[in-house]
Amino acid sequence: MHKLWLIIKREYITRVKTKGFVIGTLIVPLVGVGFTLFIVYLVGHQSSKAMRISIMDNGGGIAPVVASDLQSRQSNGKPQFTVDQLIERPADANAVQKDLRAKINAGTLDGYLVIPADLSQSVELHTKNSGNFSLLGPVSSAVNEGVVEARLNARGVHVDNVRDLVKGPDLQVIKVTKEGESVEKGQTIGIAIALVILLYMSLLMYGIITMRSVLEEKTTRTMEVLISAVTPSQLLAGKILGVAGVAVTQFLIWGATIVLLGSYGVAMAAMGGAGSLLSGIHVPASLMICAVIYFFCGYFLYASMFAAVGAACSSEQDAQQLQWIAMAPLVFTMLIYSVVLNDSSSRLSVILSEVPFFGPVLMPLRVSLQTPPLWQIALSIAILLLSIAIVIFGSAKIYRVGILMYGKRPTLPELVRWLRYS
């Protein structure tokens, strides 16, 4: 046990001291937070400049309604549009357009709308900045309202405010859970997808770290000395547990960051600041615990496979070619998780989440969407633990044979044969 502890300790300390760990642990969340705040800042400031727009109405009668509608739209307390010119029934449409284009190119105008006389044709928005989709919604609904009002006027119906007339009630989705009900603003799907990506990335990253670590001992020939002091199983176990310790450390740091951010978000929301966007994200503690448990189950399952791959190879290149064996089930999970996302309690979702290689990602996903029956969680953990035992047993055999094999990369049948060596 003492030897195992020494190996875990060395693995942990050398990993934690690397630049990669410091960057991965500290810089990544900082960059993430910085990026989020930057986006929040951009969203807050970008629309402060109103779009200068002109309207050319070939049929006439619609432009004033559209103009007053656009001018009434605000974002962050500032007007979103200023209307420059209203041109109704122009004598020479082409000349007017040419003139407007010149203004856009001169920078005194941001865009102009062309409303055709025949409303079965499309309305055109001419602008330099054609990629700014945030303007499309307001412009489109303003035009829509202008057209509706014009048509109503034509039928002798006079209305003061078309927007109030045509506006239907919002549809609000409310998520029902055992704990009660909460308004769904897309955060369930957001959290679910973030969870899937986080679990997938972490499993892959820590699996590859384990593989590299084994490979390093092999390529540097340190292995020869190590196994003169400890058994291959001690070495394998020490490696996997040492890297697991690194994962725990990283998660604790990240967890603390999230908690700090969450309280920052709440504080900002109370003041009505830009950070209020963050306060909408609330991850239940039960989900976090579940994700951590499944991460470690998945880690032990995948890391031992990655360790076996590392042991079987003699070079980084070989390992890159052979690592698909360990990666394939994980990548496959990413191809099928949408099945669970669409209906997390369908029979297929239940079956897929019970498969040990998919469970570590799919079961937390199910939990995040809709709490599955407890027996399904218990069963999947039992299946996972059993699979971990079997996979570690097999990996240890491949590891034991592989660590002293140099030369050509083994094929899959050869690896299977190694399993039978005593």
Partner 1 sequence: MDALSLENVTKAYDSVTAVNAVNLRVRQGAVLGLLGPNGAGKTTTIRMVMNILVPDEGSIRVLDKPVSDESRDSIGYLPEERGLYPRMKVRALIIFLAALHGLTEQEADKRAREWLARFDLGDWSEKKMVDLSKGMQQKVQFITAVIHKPPLVILDEPFSGLDPVNAATIKDVMLEMRDQGSTVILSTHRMEQVEKMCDSICLINHGRNVLDGDLRAIKHSYGKNTAHIEFTGSDAFLNHPSIAAINRFGSGVEAKLKPGADPQELLRAAVQSGVEISRFELLEPSLNDIFIEKTTRA
Among candidate residues 163, 250, 237, 267, the one with its CA nearest the CA of residue 206: 250
Among 404, 411, 416, 419, interactor with partner 1 by CB under 8 A: 404
CB of 211 to partner 1, least distance (A): 17
- Measured CA to CA in angstroms, residue 50 lies from 42, 56, 64 at distances of 15, 19, 18
Please tell me whether residue 217 binds partner 1 under the rule CB under 8 A. Answer: yes
Of 1-9, 84-92, 290-298, 360-368, which part binds partner 1 (CB under 8 A)? 1-9
> What whole-number distance in Å separates Cα of residue 344 and Cα of residue 339?
8
Please tell me whether residue 124 binds partner 1 under the rule CB under 8 A. Answer: no
Residue 72 one-letter amino acid: S
Of 5-13, 38-46, 76-84, 367-375, which part binds partner 1 (CB under 8 A)? 5-13
> What whole-number distance in Å separates Cα of residue 364 and Cα of residue 366?
5
Pairs from 33-37 (Cβ < 8 Å, separation ≥ 24) = 33/257, 33/261, 36/278, 37/274, 37/275
Of 30-38, 92-100, 224-232, 313-321, which part binds partner 1 (CB under 8 A)? 224-232
Name the DSSP class of 90. Answer: -
- For partner 1, the closer of residues 324 and 406 by Cβ is 406
Among 230, 266, 287, 334, interactor with partner 1 by CB under 8 A: 230
Q: Which two tokens stand for residue 227?
A: 């196994």
Kindly give, in sequence order, each residue whose CB lies less than 8 Å from that of residue 82, ignoring residues fewer than 6 positions away: 50, 51, 52, 53, 71
Q: Which two tokens stand for residue 141?
A: 């609904």
DSSP string, 373-401: PHHHHHHHHHHHHHHHHHHHHHHHHHHHH
- For partner 1, the closer of residues 235 and 362 by Cβ is 235
The H or E element containing residue 99 is helix 93-106
CB of 252 to partner 1, least distance (A): 25
CB of 15 to partner 1, least distance (A): 11
Please tell me whether residue 228 binds partner 1 under the rule CB under 8 A. Answer: yes
Please tell me whether residue 14 binds partner 1 under the rule CB under 8 A. Answer: yes
Among 91, 154, 174, 225, interactor with partner 1 by CB under 8 A: 225
CB of 210 to partner 1, least distance (A): 16
Please tell me whether residue 422 binds partner 1 under the rule CB under 8 A. Answer: yes
- For partner 1, the closer of residues 2 and 158 by Cβ is 2
Of 87-95, 214-222, 256-264, 374-382, which part binds partner 1 (CB under 8 A)? 214-222
Name the DSSP class of 409. Answer: P
CB of 349 to partner 1, least distance (A): 45
Residue ranges binding partner 1 (CB under 8 A): 3, 6-7, 10, 14, 216-217, 220-222, 224-232, 404, 417, 422
